[in-house]
Amino acid sequence: MSSDLIHFYSDSSSHRGHQFVVVGGIAIRPDHVERINGLLQSLKDDAGINREFKWNEYKGGRKRQAYEAAVDLFFQLLHENKLHFHCVICDFTAFDHKKDGLGSPEKSVNKLYYQLMLHRVCAFYGQQMRIIMTPDHGNDSSEIVNFRGAICAAAYRKYKTRPNCLRAIQPQPSASNNILQMLDVIIGAIAAHRENRKLGPNKVHLRDYILPSSPIKDFSIDTTNEARRLTVWNFK
């Protein structure tokens, strides 16, 4: 990726009622955004999908081909180096949500966003690029906007990034962003796989369609320090 600007579309999965939460995102140059959103919209239109691509709402049927095509597109773009994927995985049963006072799973997700932005996104891209973060709008991303200055300062000290490398954090509803919807499907499958969750047959099919395409087969193992296109970090 050679652009001076990079977008990081981010989302979380399974922070309520499940053992493992996944906070992840797609790093992508702005000149690819419109085309990818358009390709995903065409898949939805062709399948008569009037709602979002969503892991939790997937029920197979006539939507199966469109979901599989969205997964194929994700891994094709990853292979072509047109997007990167980074995620942090956390066992929420071992997470102290009230460590710093009154807390909640949503507040803890915001803290994981902080870690992901600092130690992956800013560390990898902040020396050369300006970064715009676009998390899916919701309570689990409502506080990250207040951390922007702290992330920039920490990244500058620890990773020698450009000053103010994280230029903006702009939450956006996933309903208006197909890239966020594609991301939701990917991280939903990773979360279900990580905790070996019992699933219905349609979800099993989608999970088993996604994971064999991934360069990473075991998400309980962190990727190496040299990894850049796809990274996995099991937070403890």
pLDDT digits (tens, 9 = 90+) for 192-210: 999 999 999 999 999 999 9
- What pLDDT, on the 0 to 100 scale, is given for residue 101? 54
Give per-residue pLDDT as tens, 115-144: 999 999 999 999 999 999 999 998 888 999
- What pLDDT, on the 0 to 100 scale, is given for residue 2? 47
The structural domains of the chain, with segments of one domain joined by +, span 5-235
Q: How many CB atoms lie within 10 A of CB 200?
A: 10
What percentage of the chain carries pLDDT values higher than 70? 94
pTM reported for the whole predicted model = 0.93
- What pLDDT, on the 0 to 100 scale, is given for residue 19? 86
Q: How many CB atoms lie within 10 A of CB 221?
A: 10
What does the alpha-carbon distance between residue 93 and residue 9 come to, in Å, rounded to a whole number? Answer: 26
Sorted by sequence, the CB contacts under 8 Å of residue 1 that are 6+ apart come out as 27, 29, 81, 84, 125, 129
Q: Supply 68's token pair.
A: 């599989």
- What pLDDT, on the 0 to 100 scale, is given for residue 99? 64
Low-confidence ranges of the chain (pLDDT < 50): 1-2
- What pLDDT, on the 0 to 100 scale, is given for residue 201? 96
- What pLDDT, on the 0 to 100 scale, is given for residue 1? 45
- What pLDDT, on the 0 to 100 scale, is given for residue 20? 93
Q: Is CATH 3.90.1280.10 the right assignment for the domain spanning 5-235?
A: no
- What pLDDT, on the 0 to 100 scale, is given for residue 220? 94
Q: How many CB atoms lie within 10 A of CB 21?
A: 26
